[in-house]
Amino acid sequence: MTDFARSVVLLLMLLNPFLIIIYLIDVVQKVDAPRFGHLLIRACLIAYAIFICFTILGDAIFSDIVQVEFASFQIFGGLVFLLIGLQFVFHGPRAIEILRGESEYLSGAIAIPVLVGPGTIGASVIIGKSHEPMIACAAVLAAVVSAFVIIMLLKLAHDYVLPRRERLIERYIEIAGRISALYVGTVSVNMIMQGVRTWAENF
């Protein structure tokens, strides 16, 4: 596998369309495919713009603009992820709806925090360090487009299967939601540990 392909896979795995469709299950159930596609396109464009900023500028955003350590972002982001994981444990897949809340601008609410999170931002920084700017931007674009296509296919599959196997869909959502809680919780603890380790190295 080439370095370009590894970068695409890295970001795509952190985006994880199969978890995103669970995060957005309330939206998936309420809107039709064309409307969902329109919302998702706008959310992906917002996310891509943010990813590109971190891909090109990298750590400079934290050290020069925000003037904080990247480790602080990792720790805080890990705590946010941990909160989401705990919400999943106690509330199931509906947890993301509770955290996202009502939003007049649903595309922005989908972009943040569903698509744009500590993990995907960190991956964007890593991709920017690994490639020339144009190649890095292309890798990020390929990952975002791939995520969009997979999510839309899952939405279409949901709409097709739901009338015929509603109980199967509900069981999948419940099981996938609980599994995602373990995944999100594990990632969050790892991010906190990495942030603490990086912060401790400064002393």
Q: Where are the domains of the chain?
A: 3-200
pLDDT at 84 over 60: yes
Looking at residues 109-136, what average pLDDT do you find? Answer: 85
pLDDT at 179 over 80: no
Q: What pLDDT is attached to residue 201?
A: 79
Length of the chain counted residue by residue: 203
Q: What pLDDT is attached to residue 132?
A: 92
Contact 164, 29 (CB under 8 A): no
To which H or E segment does residue 98 belong?
A: helix 95-100
Q: What pLDDT is attached to residue 49?
A: 95
Top-confidence range, 101-105, 122-126, 129-133, 145-149: 145-149
Looking at residues 101-122, what average pLDDT do you find? Answer: 72
Top-confidence range, 113-122, 152-161, 179-188: 152-161
Looking at residues 146-150, what average pLDDT do you find? Answer: 95
Q: What pLDDT is attached to residue 34?
A: 92
| DSSP single-letter state for residue 20 | H
CA distance 61 to 69: 10
Looking at residues 79-108, what average pLDDT do you find? Answer: 66
pLDDT tens digits for range 5-57: 999 998 998 888 887 887 788 788 888 999 999 999 999 999 999 999 999 98
Q: What pLDDT is attached to residue 110?
A: 75
- Tokens at 19, concatenated: 């978890």
Q: Give the list of residues 6+ apart from residue 21 with CB closer than 8 angstroms, or none.
A: 28, 151, 154, 155, 158
Looking at residues 68-78, what average pLDDT do you find? Answer: 77
Q: What pLDDT is attached to residue 42?
A: 92
CA distance 117 to 13: 13
Mean pLDDT of the chain: 81
Top-confidence range, 66-70, 74-78, 189-193: 189-193
pLDDT at 126 over 90: no
- Tokens at 180, concatenated: 């995602």
